[in-house]
Chains A and B, each alone.
Chain A
């Protein structure tokens, strides 16, 4: 199984600012995913980030708001731009291994005031 770490674990930010979340995996993986979990809700996929290509965004999510970088096979960042209180959520990084099991990081709890 993959071990995933995320930084920061939590943050409180002011509206209008941006936050970059880092995701580090202990092994090389092709597919990485970013999810959002709003308070009391289930997980929603934001985008898929494959190394060497542009991220693929799901309906309702755009690159200008959630730019993603994937510089190598063990690392990715998600930026939440121009934040509003509606962006307050847990953001989770996820990877899928060769056996199709999908693992999640510990999450970044973001509060926007």
Chain B
């Protein structure tokens, strides 16, 4: 399938530690977006990174993109208990009419106080 694949599926860390989640995808993309979902709630948009960008920052979040490896990573620094959530990557594939996002199963992050 064309969805992004997040890795690991689950991650448990202590508060204050950094959390890194990875995403791999299949073919060329226009952009890739990262989202957070708290239990049973809607998705919160975190960052969009375009195919010609290599790194983007937003507060404690850092996203990298390596188009040669077809992968992206999300780093959360100095994690907090409130960061406990599922994180999804959504690649936007290139091509005419290819406007929809596809989602993987996500990484479930648990931050232990």
Contact = CB atoms under 8 A, between A and B. Distances in A.
Interface of A: 1, 4, 6, 31, 33, 41-43, 45, 48, 90, 92, 94, 96, 99-107, 109
Contacts of B45: 1, 101-104
Contact of B40 (A4, A96, A102, A109): A109
Among A99, A100, A109: residue with most chain B CB under 10 A: A100
23 contacts: A41-B105, A42-B103, A42-B105, A42-B106, A43-B43, A43-B88, A45-B100, A45-B102, A48-B99, A90-B40, A92-B43, A96-B99, A100-B30, A100-B92, A101-B45, A101-B48, A102-B33, A102-B45, A103-B45, A104-B35, A104-B42, A104-B43, A107-B42
B90 to A, nearest CB: 7
Contacts of B31: 100
Contacts of B40: 90, 107, 109
B42 A102 contact: no
Q: How large is the interface on B (under 10, 10 to 19, 20 to 34, 35 or more residues)?
A: 20 to 34
B74 to A, nearest CB: 16
A105 B42 contact: yes
* Main SS class of interface, A: strand
Contacts of A6: 42
A5 B112 CA distance: 31
Nearest to B43: A104
Contacts of B106: 42
Contacts of A4: 42
Contacts of B24: none
A106 B42 contact: yes
Nearest to B100: A45
